[in-house]
Structure 1
């Protein structure tokens, strides 16, 4: 293996020409960049002190580091590179922020949609791996999914997670099946899974029977309630009719009594008037004549 001698090159240029000059250096691919500002601070980057370099020496006081690229800018570049399936190239051209933003805004929706599809694809691939692992052990995922009173999870457990599970089996109310080749406990676990199927089935049957009984009782209660309401309405109606008839009957009796009393008073008044009429008229005329 040959070892090539390296040389440190100090470069200074006008800012107007610096961008294009650096692009040319990058395309040559023979230069490794070194932080010049740090070298100046460490006095490793120097200029010969003479009359011709006075202005350059003074300019050292105004030297600043390059403005760091915004991480979001770099992320957008990476997103577009991945979306457009672009390869690294030594013949690329610099693109300014405005053009990048314009291009990114055009592709943004598609980039996000692609990311969502990729995430969904990862989940589907994981799901397929889990299905294949279940099929290898003759475990029917459809029966597991149709369990009514048991939930399930598929996934991988880390080494630390397996250690925690192993030391807490007795306190975990779950059936844990390790889907690995030649698992000595797989038949026992499959038998336990069959017991879970039976428990779930019997629990579902018991729940259905209980719901049916409750539904029948509810229907009977509603029926009795309706009958009681009808009987109450009927009784209330009959009592109201009887009360109304009693009031009318009592009113008729009172009306007759009042009418008889009126006739009696009228008769007595007429009798008194008739008896006193002549006497009253006679007394009246005598008073007038006098």
Structure 2
């Protein structure tokens, strides 16, 4: 429900330790790297001037970006070939202590394992290639199944060239038109819906002239098994036997490879993850700066995990220096801390919807909790049905636990629960409203009440949106927008008073005279217009205007008009929540009418099932999009910027204690 606090961490050590330090940082799984050269250029990268650190301070004058000297392409090629042969077993996780940290040792073991597969794998590829060739021949010889002449007799004509070709219907038509111009005998041997196969026999002395004409028809050569003896039927039988024999040999070779893998699968998993560690280490070193003697690594680490990082690097003792600094104490404000959201399990899946709009800035209030709760209510209100909600719940659980789509499945399951709850409130089960009583209201019987409740609910959400805007502006110490702006204190008071004024007029409640209300509203709008000079006056900033007064007031005038229209449209937009609740019922009524028109009970049942499928699929998608629109355009646009940087640490996986091969 908040943005995790970050600290900038600087790590300094001798060059001979860079490889091992970087590996431990990768295994830590929690450092978001920053280019060390950029950090060193600021006054935020500081080392205390003690006698022990003197050499490091002097060395900073000769700093340069780190340049790789190791080529990982050969070892990647070896492991890639192994992984093409086998599928890693997820039941064999790799413990951190099993990892091979020494590159030379890792390379030797990967080459050795690859060597066990290499000879068999080459044979397997040859057999598969031969099998594909036989499969092609089997397909092509089938064109000649009605010809009872030995194939070699056709091919071995002394003075003639024989070719078999496939051509499109268009090319076939052109060929017919040009028969008299082609010095060849053309015979159709196979006819399909969209192509033809022909055999063309040409005197060898006229082949060049024939080819000149035939090439314009874009003929596709059909490769025939001319080397086989016998009629097409006899050759087909030989090819089938050869195909089956090759299949048997392929299965034997695959069994041999599987046996080798079973004997070495744990080692293969270890080698795979160890190589990934090497590659991630190399990626981290890309951010490093170095001199002849020392290296410098920088990155952001969550404040709560600084202790874990220090424990990870304790083995290096005083051979390295680890410094940390809070963002508020950094002088370089252009280096923005990344954002990692911290939410409870109920709303955590909705983080992906927040990030779709934009990652929250480090100093911005995390809107996930508000979005999660409000979106579930909006969706449930628009799509309230017990049965259809349970379908969404089951689909969400399936996506989460079977398809491993944790976020999508989690969102769908929660929306299903909300839909089912509102289904009880509406008294609706798969569209039928006579199965259970309505605990609150039946939309179709209380249309006006439903629409009014939708607008009231929208007003409540907009007021919460104002509050979020206030929090964000106060965090940024933005007096102009936080106090005087349309989404600040002044805007919030204006909106609440405007709602109360409309409410009192509709219900005939006596309040201030209308003239007083008008003066009050105009005064508040004028404060919005003068927000910049007022804030600058309070801060003591001169000049009061950042642009010419005429331009400022023209822009401010249009801003007032936009504010009034925006508040009205934002409020009225929430009427769609009630409208879709009515539409949900109305759509089922339509399918129910069609079901009643069926001549059989089975037809009626099928129509009810079809109706529910369409409602769940089509209307469910529309409601999902409409709810998202309300969140983004009516609420987020009021208080949320989403201009942050997502926290992306260099890591192997999400687990700190166990490293799975499926990274």
TM-score of Structure 1 vs Structure 2, range by shorter chain: 0.3 to 0.5
Give the structure, 1 or 2, with the largest relative contact order (CA under 8 Å, sep 6 or more).
2
Larger Rg: 1
Q: Normalized per residue, which structure has more helix? A: 1
TM-score (norm 1): 0.40
TM-score (norm 2): 0.21
